[in-house]
């Protein structure tokens, strides 16, 4: 579901972007799939927007947190995260 945000006139409608990559594929030096994989992601503030590349179900567990759990997890790609949050007003 897409989320809509209104521009904040105090900061010119600017957003600050934070991106993080979690490397799974090139670090794949274990024998076989990961038995139990638990991922917890935080998005800084409740009104921030989280976008991520993730193959699987992601459940919202709090105002800023999301979790995923998989058994016998064999990652096909790295996890890429992007959090957008309102930029602070200038000055």
In a domain, 17, yes or no: no
Question: For position 1, what pLDDT does the model report?
Answer: 43
In a domain, 20, yes or no: no
Q: Tell whether the model's pLDDT for residue 63 goes beyond 90.
A: yes
- Token pair, residue 88, equals 């602070």
pTM of the shown model: 0.73
Q: Tell whether the model's pLDDT for residue 16 goes beyond 90.
A: no
Look up the domain containing 40 and give its range.
31-84
Count of structural domains within the chain: 1
Question: For position 8, what pLDDT does the model report?
Answer: 57
In a domain, 10, yes or no: no
In a domain, 25, yes or no: no
Q: Tell whether the model's pLDDT for residue 27 goes beyond 50.
A: yes
For residue 25, give the nearest of 64, 80, 85, 70 by alpha carbon.
80
In a domain, 1, yes or no: no
In a domain, 9, yes or no: no
Q: How confident is the model at residue 69 (pLDDT cuts 50, 70, 90)?
A: very high
Q: How far is CA 38 from CA 28, 32, 58, 63, in A?
A: 16, 17, 11, 19
Q: What is the mean pLDDT of the chain?
A: 82
Question: For position 86, what pLDDT does the model report?
Answer: 83
In a domain, 5, yes or no: no
In a domain, 65, yes or no: yes
**How many angstroms separate the CA atoms of 37 and 44, rounded?**
23
């Amino acid at each position: 579901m897409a989320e809509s945000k209104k521009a904040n006139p105090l900061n010119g409608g600017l957003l600050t972007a934070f991106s993080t990559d979690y490397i799974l594929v090139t670090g794949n030096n274990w024998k076989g799939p990961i038995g139990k994989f638990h991922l917890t992601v935080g998005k800084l503030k409740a009104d921030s927007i989280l976008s991520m590349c993730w193959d699987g179900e992601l459940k919202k567990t709090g105002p800023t947190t999301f979790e995923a759990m998989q058994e016998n997890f064999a990652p096909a790609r790295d996890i890429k995260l992007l959090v957008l949050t309102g930029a602070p007003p200038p000055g």
